[in-house]
Structure 1
Protein backbone atom coordinates (compact mmCIF):
# COMPACT_ATOMS: atom_id res chain seq x y z
CA UNK A 1 0.00 0.00 0.00
CA UNK A 2 2.97 2.29 -0.69
CA UNK A 3 0.83 4.56 -2.88
CA UNK A 4 -1.65 5.37 -0.10
CA UNK A 5 -1.89 9.07 0.74
CA UNK A 6 -1.97 9.66 4.50
CA UNK A 7 -2.98 13.07 5.84
CA UNK A 8 -1.93 13.48 9.46
CA UNK A 9 -3.83 15.92 11.69
CA UNK A 10 -2.16 18.84 13.44
CA UNK A 11 -2.43 17.02 16.77
CA UNK A 12 -1.81 13.34 17.53
CA UNK A 13 -4.32 11.17 15.69
CA UNK A 14 -7.12 9.70 17.81
CA UNK A 15 -9.33 8.50 14.93
CA UNK A 16 -8.94 7.51 11.29
CA UNK A 17 -11.05 7.72 8.15
CA UNK A 18 -10.12 5.36 5.31
CA UNK A 19 -11.63 6.97 2.19
CA UNK A 20 -11.83 5.26 -1.22
CA UNK A 21 -12.17 7.27 -4.43
CA UNK A 22 -14.43 6.41 -7.35
CA UNK A 23 -13.83 4.82 -10.75
CA UNK A 24 -11.27 6.65 -12.87
CA UNK A 25 -10.17 8.97 -10.05
CA UNK A 26 -7.15 8.69 -7.77
CA UNK A 27 -6.05 9.02 -4.16
CA UNK A 28 -5.80 12.80 -4.50
CA UNK A 29 -9.45 13.19 -5.52
CA UNK A 30 -10.72 13.60 -1.96
CA UNK A 31 -7.62 15.29 -0.53
CA UNK A 32 -9.33 18.74 -0.48
CA UNK A 33 -12.36 17.23 1.26
CA UNK A 34 -10.18 15.48 3.84
CA UNK A 35 -8.20 18.64 4.52
CA UNK A 36 -11.41 20.65 4.94
CA UNK A 37 -12.80 18.07 7.36
CA UNK A 38 -9.57 18.09 9.36
CA UNK A 39 -10.16 21.81 9.89
CA UNK A 40 -13.26 21.03 11.95
CA UNK A 41 -12.35 17.53 13.19
CA UNK A 42 -9.00 17.84 14.99
CA UNK A 43 -7.21 14.61 15.63
CA UNK A 44 -8.58 12.72 12.62
CA UNK A 45 -6.13 11.02 10.27
CA UNK A 46 -7.31 10.51 6.68
CA UNK A 47 -6.06 7.48 4.76
CA UNK A 48 -6.62 7.74 0.99
CA UNK A 49 -5.66 4.56 -0.88
CA UNK A 50 -5.13 4.27 -4.63
CA UNK A 51 -7.03 1.78 -6.78
CA UNK A 52 -4.95 -0.26 -9.24
CA UNK A 53 -5.05 0.70 -12.91
CA UNK A 54 -6.73 -1.99 -15.02
CA UNK A 55 -9.07 -2.42 -17.99
CA UNK A 56 -12.74 -1.63 -17.39
CA UNK A 57 -15.06 -3.56 -19.69
CA UNK A 58 -17.92 -1.08 -19.44
CA UNK A 59 -15.60 1.71 -20.62
CA UNK A 60 -14.49 -0.06 -23.75
CA UNK A 61 -11.66 -1.91 -22.07
CA UNK A 62 -9.71 1.28 -21.35
CA UNK A 63 -7.37 1.03 -18.40
CA UNK A 64 -8.06 3.36 -15.48
CA UNK A 65 -7.96 3.33 -11.68
CA UNK A 66 -10.62 0.83 -10.70
CA UNK A 67 -11.42 -1.11 -7.54
CA UNK A 68 -13.03 -3.79 -9.74
CA UNK A 69 -14.09 -4.34 -13.33
CA UNK A 70 -17.67 -3.43 -14.25
CA UNK A 71 -18.78 -5.82 -16.96
CA UNK A 72 -22.36 -4.61 -17.55
CA UNK A 73 -24.98 -2.30 -16.05
CA UNK A 74 -28.19 -4.14 -16.87
CA UNK A 75 -30.28 -5.74 -15.55
CA UNK A 76 -28.03 -5.40 -12.45
CA UNK A 77 -24.41 -4.35 -12.34
CA UNK A 78 -22.23 -7.33 -13.26
CA UNK A 79 -18.81 -6.98 -11.66
CA UNK A 80 -15.58 -8.91 -11.21
CA UNK A 81 -16.11 -10.37 -7.75
CA UNK A 82 -12.51 -11.54 -7.35
CA UNK A 83 -11.28 -7.98 -7.88
CA UNK A 84 -13.86 -6.67 -5.40
CA UNK A 85 -12.62 -9.16 -2.82
CA UNK A 86 -9.03 -8.13 -3.53
CA UNK A 87 -9.93 -4.48 -2.95
CA UNK A 88 -11.77 -5.36 0.26
CA UNK A 89 -8.62 -7.16 1.36
CA UNK A 90 -6.66 -3.93 0.84
CA UNK A 91 -9.14 -2.11 3.09
CA UNK A 92 -8.77 -4.79 5.76
CA UNK A 93 -5.00 -4.33 5.63
CA UNK A 94 -5.45 -0.57 6.11
CA UNK A 95 -7.78 -1.15 9.08
CA UNK A 96 -5.20 -3.38 10.72
CA UNK A 97 -2.45 -0.82 10.05
CA UNK A 98 -4.51 1.86 11.79
CA UNK A 99 -5.12 -0.44 14.74
CA UNK A 100 -1.38 -1.19 14.91
CA UNK A 101 -0.73 2.57 15.02
CA UNK A 102 -2.85 2.83 18.17
CA UNK A 103 -6.27 3.79 16.77
CA UNK A 104 -9.04 1.62 18.29
CA UNK A 105 -11.28 -0.13 15.75
CA UNK A 106 -14.27 1.75 17.19
CA UNK A 107 -12.64 5.00 16.00
CA UNK A 108 -11.84 3.82 12.48
CA UNK A 109 -14.32 4.88 9.79
CA UNK A 110 -14.68 3.62 6.24
CA UNK A 111 -15.79 6.04 3.53
CA UNK A 112 -16.17 5.63 -0.19
CA UNK A 113 -17.56 7.41 -3.22
CA UNK A 114 -19.35 5.46 -5.97
CA UNK A 115 -17.29 2.32 -6.70
CA UNK A 116 -15.23 3.03 -3.59
CA UNK A 117 -18.43 3.10 -1.57
CA UNK A 118 -19.40 -0.32 -2.89
CA UNK A 119 -16.06 -1.66 -1.64
CA UNK A 120 -16.44 -0.23 1.85
CA UNK A 121 -20.04 -1.49 2.20
CA UNK A 122 -18.88 -4.96 1.18
CA UNK A 123 -15.91 -4.77 3.54
CA UNK A 124 -17.91 -3.56 6.54
CA UNK A 125 -20.83 -5.95 6.19
CA UNK A 126 -19.36 -9.05 4.56
CA UNK A 127 -15.64 -9.14 5.41
CA UNK A 128 -14.86 -7.27 8.64
CA UNK A 129 -16.05 -9.00 11.83
CA UNK A 130 -14.87 -6.43 14.37
CA UNK A 131 -15.99 -3.02 15.55
CA UNK A 132 -15.95 0.08 13.38
CA UNK A 133 -16.57 3.74 14.04
CA UNK A 134 -18.95 3.77 11.10
CA UNK A 135 -19.37 3.85 7.33
CA UNK A 136 -19.91 6.77 4.94
CA UNK A 137 -21.49 5.63 1.67
CA UNK A 138 -21.44 8.41 -0.92
CA UNK A 139 -23.32 8.11 -4.24
CA UNK A 140 -22.94 4.35 -4.18
CA UNK A 141 -24.66 0.97 -4.17
CA UNK A 142 -24.21 -2.44 -2.58
CA UNK A 143 -23.56 -5.13 -5.22
CA UNK A 144 -23.07 -7.94 -2.70
CA UNK A 145 -25.99 -7.44 -0.31
CA UNK A 146 -28.35 -10.40 -0.66
CA UNK A 147 -31.88 -11.06 0.54
CA UNK A 148 -30.88 -14.04 2.67
CA UNK A 149 -27.86 -12.43 4.34
CA UNK A 150 -28.06 -11.77 8.06
CA UNK A 151 -25.74 -9.58 10.09
CA UNK A 152 -23.97 -10.31 13.34
CA UNK A 153 -24.54 -8.17 16.42
CA UNK A 154 -21.27 -6.27 15.95
CA UNK A 155 -22.05 -5.48 12.30
CA UNK A 156 -25.51 -4.24 13.27
CA UNK A 157 -23.82 -1.67 15.50
CA UNK A 158 -21.86 -0.08 12.63
CA UNK A 159 -23.40 3.38 12.15
CA UNK A 160 -23.89 4.21 8.47
CA UNK A 161 -24.62 7.45 6.64
CA UNK A 162 -25.85 7.01 3.06
CA UNK A 163 -25.66 10.13 0.88
CA UNK A 164 -26.90 10.36 -2.71
CA UNK A 165 -27.84 12.79 -5.46
CA UNK A 166 -31.45 12.81 -6.56
CA UNK A 167 -30.26 13.45 -10.12
CA UNK A 168 -27.38 10.97 -10.15
CA UNK A 169 -26.89 9.83 -13.74
CA UNK A 170 -24.15 7.29 -12.95
CA UNK A 171 -25.42 5.40 -9.89
CA UNK A 172 -29.21 5.79 -9.87
CA UNK A 173 -30.79 7.18 -6.71
CA UNK A 174 -32.84 3.97 -6.42
CA UNK A 175 -29.69 1.83 -6.07
CA UNK A 176 -28.42 3.95 -3.20
CA UNK A 177 -31.81 3.83 -1.52
CA UNK A 178 -31.90 0.05 -1.93
CA UNK A 179 -28.66 -0.27 0.05
CA UNK A 180 -30.10 1.97 2.77
CA UNK A 181 -33.32 -0.05 2.94
CA UNK A 182 -31.35 -3.32 3.18
CA UNK A 183 -29.35 -2.02 6.14
CA UNK A 184 -32.40 -0.54 7.87
CA UNK A 185 -34.28 -3.83 7.54
CA UNK A 186 -31.46 -5.58 9.42
CA UNK A 187 -31.44 -3.21 12.37
CA UNK A 188 -28.41 -1.14 11.40
CA UNK A 189 -28.20 2.44 12.70
CA UNK A 190 -28.36 3.91 9.20
CA UNK A 191 -29.33 7.41 8.08
CA UNK A 192 -30.24 8.63 4.59
CA UNK A 193 -29.55 12.03 3.05
CA UNK A 194 -30.17 13.03 -0.54
CA UNK A 195 -29.44 16.25 -2.37
CA UNK A 196 -30.38 18.10 -5.58
CA UNK A 197 -27.16 17.02 -7.32
CA UNK A 198 -25.80 14.52 -9.82
CA UNK A 199 -22.86 12.15 -9.33
CA UNK A 200 -20.80 14.56 -7.27
CA UNK A 201 -20.17 16.01 -3.82
CA UNK A 202 -21.66 19.32 -2.66
CA UNK A 203 -21.00 21.58 0.31
CA UNK A 204 -24.26 20.73 2.07
CA UNK A 205 -23.29 17.07 1.94
CA UNK A 206 -19.87 17.81 3.40
CA UNK A 207 -21.48 19.70 6.27
CA UNK A 208 -23.66 16.67 6.99
CA UNK A 209 -20.62 14.40 6.93
CA UNK A 210 -18.72 16.66 9.32
CA UNK A 211 -21.63 16.76 11.76
CA UNK A 212 -22.14 12.99 11.57
CA UNK A 213 -18.45 12.29 12.22
CA UNK A 214 -18.29 14.83 15.04
CA UNK A 215 -21.24 13.19 16.78
CA UNK A 216 -19.62 9.78 16.65
CA UNK A 217 -16.20 11.02 17.70
CA UNK A 218 -17.73 12.75 20.72
CA UNK A 219 -18.92 9.42 22.16
Structure 2
Protein backbone atom coordinates (compact mmCIF):
# COMPACT_ATOMS: atom_id res chain seq x y z
CA UNK A 1 0.00 0.00 0.00
CA UNK A 2 1.19 3.48 -0.83
CA UNK A 3 0.73 5.86 2.11
CA UNK A 4 1.39 9.53 1.38
CA UNK A 5 1.34 11.11 4.82
CA UNK A 6 2.36 14.78 4.97
CA UNK A 7 3.03 16.32 8.36
CA UNK A 8 0.00 17.85 10.00
CA UNK A 9 -2.57 15.98 7.90
CA UNK A 10 -6.02 15.87 9.51
CA UNK A 11 -7.86 14.72 6.39
CA UNK A 12 -7.44 11.48 4.45
CA UNK A 13 -8.53 9.98 1.13
CA UNK A 14 -8.53 6.24 0.47
CA UNK A 15 -8.15 5.56 -3.27
CA UNK A 16 -9.18 2.14 -4.62
CA UNK A 17 -7.88 1.07 -8.04
CA UNK A 18 -9.54 -0.91 -10.81
CA UNK A 19 -9.10 -4.49 -12.00
CA UNK A 20 -5.52 -5.43 -12.85
CA UNK A 21 -4.13 -2.15 -11.56
CA UNK A 22 -2.51 -1.30 -8.23
CA UNK A 23 -2.32 1.53 -5.73
CA UNK A 24 0.71 2.79 -7.60
CA UNK A 25 -1.42 3.07 -10.73
CA UNK A 26 -3.57 5.74 -9.08
CA UNK A 27 -0.65 7.66 -7.58
CA UNK A 28 -0.29 9.95 -10.66
CA UNK A 29 -3.92 10.99 -10.18
CA UNK A 30 -3.18 12.15 -6.65
CA UNK A 31 -0.22 14.16 -7.90
CA UNK A 32 -2.22 15.65 -10.80
CA UNK A 33 -4.86 17.00 -8.41
CA UNK A 34 -2.25 19.41 -7.01
CA UNK A 35 -4.14 20.01 -3.78
CA UNK A 36 -3.07 23.17 -1.89
CA UNK A 37 0.15 22.82 0.07
CA UNK A 38 -1.52 24.45 3.07
CA UNK A 39 -4.10 21.64 3.13
CA UNK A 40 -2.05 18.55 4.00
CA UNK A 41 -4.05 15.46 3.08
CA UNK A 42 -3.06 11.86 3.71
CA UNK A 43 -3.59 9.61 0.69
CA UNK A 44 -3.78 5.83 1.12
CA UNK A 45 -3.67 3.65 -1.99
CA UNK A 46 -4.04 -0.02 -1.02
CA UNK A 47 -3.50 -2.94 -3.40
CA UNK A 48 -6.23 -5.47 -4.10
CA UNK A 49 -5.20 -9.11 -3.63
CA UNK A 50 -4.20 -11.22 -6.60
CA UNK A 51 -6.93 -13.66 -7.57
CA UNK A 52 -8.03 -15.66 -10.66
CA UNK A 53 -10.42 -13.57 -12.79
CA UNK A 54 -12.88 -15.77 -14.67
CA UNK A 55 -13.54 -13.38 -17.57
CA UNK A 56 -9.79 -13.19 -18.16
CA UNK A 57 -9.43 -16.95 -18.62
CA UNK A 58 -8.74 -17.43 -14.93
CA UNK A 59 -5.46 -15.52 -15.03
CA UNK A 60 -4.40 -14.12 -11.68
CA UNK A 61 -4.32 -10.35 -11.32
CA UNK A 62 -5.10 -7.77 -8.71
CA UNK A 63 -8.85 -7.65 -8.23
CA UNK A 64 -11.15 -6.68 -5.39
CA UNK A 65 -13.47 -9.48 -6.57
CA UNK A 66 -13.90 -12.01 -9.36
CA UNK A 67 -16.01 -11.23 -12.42
CA UNK A 68 -17.58 -14.44 -13.69
CA UNK A 69 -19.43 -12.91 -16.64
CA UNK A 70 -20.76 -9.62 -17.96
CA UNK A 71 -24.26 -11.00 -18.57
CA UNK A 72 -25.66 -11.48 -15.08
CA UNK A 73 -25.31 -8.58 -12.58
CA UNK A 74 -24.69 -11.11 -9.79
CA UNK A 75 -21.75 -12.53 -11.76
CA UNK A 76 -20.34 -9.07 -12.52
CA UNK A 77 -19.27 -8.74 -8.88
CA UNK A 78 -18.97 -11.93 -6.81
CA UNK A 79 -20.65 -10.88 -3.59
CA UNK A 80 -18.51 -12.94 -1.20
CA UNK A 81 -15.37 -11.26 -2.58
CA UNK A 82 -17.02 -7.82 -2.46
CA UNK A 83 -17.86 -8.25 1.20
CA UNK A 84 -14.38 -9.55 1.95
CA UNK A 85 -12.78 -6.51 0.29
CA UNK A 86 -15.24 -4.10 1.90
CA UNK A 87 -14.36 -5.54 5.32
CA UNK A 88 -10.70 -4.89 4.56
CA UNK A 89 -11.38 -1.24 3.68
CA UNK A 90 -13.62 -0.85 6.74
CA UNK A 91 -10.68 -2.07 8.83
CA UNK A 92 -8.48 0.55 7.17
CA UNK A 93 -11.06 3.20 8.09
CA UNK A 94 -11.00 1.98 11.69
CA UNK A 95 -7.21 2.16 11.66
CA UNK A 96 -7.32 5.78 10.51
CA UNK A 97 -9.81 6.66 13.23
CA UNK A 98 -7.59 4.96 15.82
CA UNK A 99 -4.73 7.14 14.57
CA UNK A 100 -6.77 10.29 15.19
CA UNK A 101 -8.53 10.96 11.88
CA UNK A 102 -12.18 11.84 12.41
CA UNK A 103 -14.56 9.83 10.16
CA UNK A 104 -15.94 13.15 8.90
CA UNK A 105 -12.48 13.97 7.55
CA UNK A 106 -12.11 10.77 5.47
CA UNK A 107 -13.15 10.36 1.83
CA UNK A 108 -13.52 7.00 0.09
CA UNK A 109 -12.78 7.10 -3.65
CA UNK A 110 -12.55 4.41 -6.29
CA UNK A 111 -12.28 3.72 -10.01
CA UNK A 112 -14.22 0.87 -11.66
CA UNK A 113 -13.88 -2.17 -9.33
CA UNK A 114 -12.46 0.18 -6.72
CA UNK A 115 -15.58 2.32 -6.97
CA UNK A 116 -17.74 -0.74 -6.33
CA UNK A 117 -15.87 -1.43 -3.10
CA UNK A 118 -15.77 2.24 -2.08
CA UNK A 119 -19.54 2.58 -2.45
CA UNK A 120 -20.31 -0.78 -0.82
CA UNK A 121 -18.16 0.18 2.19
CA UNK A 122 -19.18 3.82 2.56
CA UNK A 123 -22.91 3.20 2.25
CA UNK A 124 -22.78 0.68 5.09
CA UNK A 125 -20.31 2.49 7.34
CA UNK A 126 -21.87 3.40 10.70
CA UNK A 127 -20.12 6.77 11.06
CA UNK A 128 -20.61 9.75 8.71
CA UNK A 129 -17.70 10.08 6.27
CA UNK A 130 -16.56 13.21 4.43
CA UNK A 131 -17.63 11.84 1.07
CA UNK A 132 -17.81 9.06 -1.51
CA UNK A 133 -16.30 9.52 -4.98
CA UNK A 134 -17.01 6.84 -7.60
CA UNK A 135 -15.54 6.87 -11.10
CA UNK A 136 -16.67 4.66 -14.01
CA UNK A 137 -18.37 2.13 -11.80
CA UNK A 138 -21.59 0.41 -10.69
CA UNK A 139 -23.21 -1.02 -7.57
CA UNK A 140 -22.79 -4.52 -6.17
CA UNK A 141 -25.81 -6.22 -4.58
CA UNK A 142 -28.07 -3.18 -5.13
CA UNK A 143 -31.14 -5.16 -4.07
CA UNK A 144 -29.70 -5.28 -0.53
CA UNK A 145 -28.81 -1.58 -0.33
CA UNK A 146 -31.93 -0.29 1.41
CA UNK A 147 -31.80 -3.05 4.03
CA UNK A 148 -28.08 -2.73 4.74
CA UNK A 149 -27.49 1.00 4.27
CA UNK A 150 -26.43 2.79 7.44
CA UNK A 151 -28.28 5.79 8.83
CA UNK A 152 -25.06 7.79 8.42
CA UNK A 153 -25.14 7.17 4.66
CA UNK A 154 -28.28 9.29 4.30
CA UNK A 155 -26.21 12.46 4.73
CA UNK A 156 -23.16 11.19 2.83
CA UNK A 157 -21.92 13.54 0.06
CA UNK A 158 -21.75 11.34 -3.05
CA UNK A 159 -20.26 12.05 -6.47
CA UNK A 160 -20.44 9.72 -9.49
CA UNK A 161 -18.47 10.25 -12.70
CA UNK A 162 -18.71 8.25 -15.92
CA UNK A 163 -17.50 8.25 -19.51
CA UNK A 164 -20.12 8.47 -22.24
CA UNK A 165 -18.11 6.09 -24.45
CA UNK A 166 -17.08 3.64 -21.71
CA UNK A 167 -16.89 0.19 -23.34
CA UNK A 168 -15.86 -1.65 -20.15
CA UNK A 169 -18.49 -0.38 -17.73
CA UNK A 170 -21.21 0.99 -20.03
CA UNK A 171 -22.76 4.33 -19.17
CA UNK A 172 -26.07 2.54 -18.64
CA UNK A 173 -24.56 0.78 -15.61
CA UNK A 174 -23.65 4.14 -14.15
CA UNK A 175 -27.18 5.37 -14.77
CA UNK A 176 -28.52 2.26 -13.06
CA UNK A 177 -26.36 2.98 -10.02
CA UNK A 178 -27.60 6.55 -9.92
CA UNK A 179 -31.24 5.45 -10.07
CA UNK A 180 -30.68 2.78 -7.40
CA UNK A 181 -29.08 5.31 -5.05
CA UNK A 182 -31.83 7.85 -5.62
CA UNK A 183 -34.46 5.16 -5.09
CA UNK A 184 -32.81 4.51 -1.71
CA UNK A 185 -33.37 8.18 -0.83
CA UNK A 186 -29.82 9.36 -1.48
CA UNK A 187 -28.71 12.46 -3.35
CA UNK A 188 -25.62 12.53 -5.54
CA UNK A 189 -23.70 14.77 -7.89
CA UNK A 190 -23.44 13.28 -11.40
CA UNK A 191 -20.86 14.06 -14.11
CA UNK A 192 -20.50 12.64 -17.63
CA UNK A 193 -17.48 13.10 -19.89
CA UNK A 194 -16.75 12.36 -23.57
CA UNK A 195 -14.28 9.60 -22.69
CA UNK A 196 -13.98 5.83 -22.48
CA UNK A 197 -12.97 3.79 -19.39
CA UNK A 198 -10.43 6.28 -18.10
CA UNK A 199 -9.92 9.56 -16.27
CA UNK A 200 -9.79 12.68 -18.43
CA UNK A 201 -8.31 16.13 -17.80
CA UNK A 202 -11.62 18.02 -17.37
CA UNK A 203 -12.62 15.38 -14.84
CA UNK A 204 -9.50 16.11 -12.78
CA UNK A 205 -10.69 19.65 -12.22
CA UNK A 206 -14.10 18.42 -11.07
CA UNK A 207 -12.51 15.88 -8.72
CA UNK A 208 -10.30 18.59 -7.25
CA UNK A 209 -13.22 20.98 -6.73
CA UNK A 210 -15.38 18.28 -5.16
CA UNK A 211 -12.60 17.07 -2.86
CA UNK A 212 -11.75 20.56 -1.67
CA UNK A 213 -15.40 21.15 -0.81
CA UNK A 214 -15.31 17.99 1.32
CA UNK A 215 -11.91 18.57 2.94
CA UNK A 216 -11.69 22.28 3.62
CA UNK A 217 -12.53 23.24 7.24
TM-score category by the smaller chain?
over 0.9
SS in 2 for 1:34: helix
Match of 2:18 in 1: 22
Tell me the TM-score normalised to structure 1 length.
0.92
For the Cα contact (< 8 Å) 1:159–1:188, is it kept in 2? no
Write 1 or 2 for the structure with the bigger share of helix.
Answer: 2
Q: CA deviation digits over 1:142-188, x for unaligned, max 9?
A: 02111772544311111110000000000010111111122223332
Map 1:143-154 → 2, pairs under 5 A: 143-146=140-143, 149-150=146-147, 151-154=149-152
1:161-200 equivalent positions in 2, closer than 5 A: 161-200=159-198
- For each residue in 1:108-128, what CA deviation from the matched residue of structure 2 results, as whole angstroms up to 9, or x when unmatched? 1100100010011111123x1
More moved, 169-178 vs 138-147: 138-147
The TM-score normalised by the length of structure 2 is: 0.93
Q: 2:28 aligns with which of 7, 26, 32?
A: 32
Rounded to whole Å, the distance in 2 between the matches of 1:119 and 1:136 is: 11
Higher mean C-alpha deviation, range 175-184 or range 76-85: 76-85
Alignment map for 1:96-111 (pairs within 5 Å): 96-111=94-109
More moved, 140-149 vs 112-121: 140-149
Q: Is the 8 A contact 1:138 1:163 kept in 2?
A: yes
In the TM superposition, residue 5 of structure 1 has moved relative to its aligned partner by 0.8
Counterparts of 2:96 and 2:156 in 1: how far apart (Å)? 17
Distance 1:75 1:40 in 2: 43
Tell me the secondary structure at the aligned position of residue 161 of structure 1: strand
Coordinate RMSD, CA, aligned? 1.6
